[in-house]
Structure 1
Amino acid sequence: MRTKVFGHRGSAGTHPENTMIAFKEAAKVGADGIELDIQMTKDGAIVVIHDETVNRTTNGENKGWIKDYTLSQIKKMDVSYKFKDKYGICEIPTLEEVFNWAKTNQLLINIEFKTGLVSYKGIEEKTLKMIYDYGMEDRIVLSSFNHYSLVKCRRISRTIDLAILYMEGLYEPWKYAKRLHTNGIHPYYQTINQEVIVESKRNGIAVRPFTVNDEKKMKQFIEFGCSAIITDFPKKAKALVK
């Protein structure tokens, strides 16, 4: 089966990460899916931004935790980050905005729960409800470094696609994934090898390493038969897959 390409935070190598223009760019260059990160605001809105704070990616004087801002405050921030001169001001999108746009295409969406530092009460339930309300369940992969969030998701939904994220070497990760009743592994690309890829897939566990930006590594993972690669440069990856 052909290796799929997921645009990491959209097309983070060429556009402001986790913004609508980055997601649209990934779609434009033919990515099979996008990867994005979610946090929750003070008033319970699910927003798409990688960090738990606004410090790194917002321009201006904004500092502090997402959880301490309301959605209306978040929407006034500019997350054009290092691409402002090229693309101008960019908003932080809500997950609902992404879903509304996704109804116009067939992209897969990998949603990462950023629940490692902040325990957002009800974020898993709210996200799953939105997925089902929009009829997106067959196009979604939910992932997290916080595997408690994945266990919670599995208790809510028996069928949603789940994947464990991890940064270090994990012994027989396909067995761990099965024990948590998840469907895939998303390892940091430097911790994965052909043996783990082959054995995981043999056991019915999808393998999607992140963040694969080097062309040699992309080619290698494609040759190894990875289910997908998650990359900041989806255009480059798609050219190699073809």
Structure 2
Amino acid sequence: MKSILFTFLTFLIASSVSFAQKSFHKNKVIAHRGAWKAQSHPQNSIASLKEAVKLGCEGSEFDVWMSADGILVVNHDADFQGMEIETSTYKELLSKKHENGEKLPTVEEYLKAGKKQKGTKLIFEIKPSKISVERSKEVAEKSVLAVKKMKAEKWVDYITFSYEGGLKVIELAPEANVAYLTGDKTPAELKEAGFFGFDYNINLLKKNPQWIQEAKDLGLTVNAWTVNSPEDLNWLLDQNPDFITTDEPELLLQLIEERK
């Protein structure tokens, strides 16, 4: 009986590892705010997420703010249809809709939609609060709790411009992948702080190309945003990064295919 139980547990662990490591696409393509541009989907909408999944992107990035009453919502700008998210209640935000009729999704609704597939990672950007650093930390903490509540850990990687928010995620979820966006830390500093990698602006990396190799030597991942032109995409592909964040996922997929 013990032998049977051991075999069953071994199967479950192996299945979990296989899902976490082999299920998701490995093509470097991170759709910025979902795949929205080509099909005119609203940015950060469920529709743009589904389009990124349909394309087979490795990841689909989305941005998270917290409403005045503590609800985490998905939207890029600090306002939604002219309403400031951080100073509006979620009920007030529901008075507006995306151009396609979708309401502003909560993080839990977005994660629920993202978990319906196993090919595209959910790149969870924690937006820094305009109110205070402490609020940024609170958003980071609530984000980790939401991901755990939804059992979405295998799907989610975190990115953030808030250094303090990133450190809070690392503290609360040390097994999570957390990348830093701002660009004011060297690869060595990020490694020391426990980050998974950097996700820096393409122009910053062009000025500091040595950071790419430094990050690789330290075991950090390399990503860049937001890379849209064929020239920049090809330059970055030549550097062999781990990921590329783009508003043009279709173009990037095509360029990668042409290089095979």
| TM-score normalised by structure 1 residue count | 0.86
What does residue 96 of structure 1 align with? 108
> Deviations along 1:103-146, whole A, 9 cap, x unmatched?
21122111111124234362222211121222222332211111
What does residue 10 of structure 2 align with? none
> Deviations along 1:208-236, whole A, 9 cap, x unmatched?
10000111211221221100000111111
> Deviations along 1:134-184, whole A, 9 cap, x unmatched?
2222332211111011111112121111111125xx57x211211221011
Letter in 1 for 2:181: L
Match among 20, 23, 29 for residue 55 of structure 2: 29
> Deviations along 1:36-69, whole A, 9 cap, x unmatched?
1101112211100112223xxx2xxxx3421222
Q: CA RMSD in A?
A: 1.8
Letter in 2 for 1:24: K
Deviation at 1:90, TM superposition (A): 3.2
Counterpart check, 1:225 vs 2:240: yes
Counterpart check, 1:206 vs 2:231: no
Higher helix proportion (structure 1 or 2): 2
What does residue 183 of structure 1 align with? 196
What does residue 128 of structure 1 align with? 144
> Deviations along 1:13-38, whole A, 9 cap, x unmatched?
33221111111111111211111110
Structure 2 segments unaligned to the other structure (5+ residues): 1-25
Asked if the contact 1:52–1:118 (Cα under 8 Å) also holds between the matched residues in 2, the reply is no
Structure with bigger gyration radius: 2
Higher RCO (CA-CA < 8 Å; seq separation 6+): 1
Letter in 2 for 1:205: L
How far apart, CA to CA, are the structure 2 residues paired with 1:195 and 1:238?
Answer: 26
How far apart, CA to CA, are the structure 1 residues paired with 2:131 and 2:122?
Answer: 23
Identity of aligned residues (%): 25
Asked if the contact 1:3–1:222 (Cα under 8 Å) also holds between the matched residues in 2, the reply is no
| TM-score normalised by structure 2 residue count | 0.80
Counterpart check, 1:73 vs 2:89: no
What does residue 12 of structure 2 align with? none
How far apart, CA to CA, are the structure 2 residues paired with 1:209 and 1:67?
Answer: 27
What is the number of residues matched between the two proteins? Answer: 224
Q: Which moved more, 1:111-120 or 1:218-227?
A: 111-120
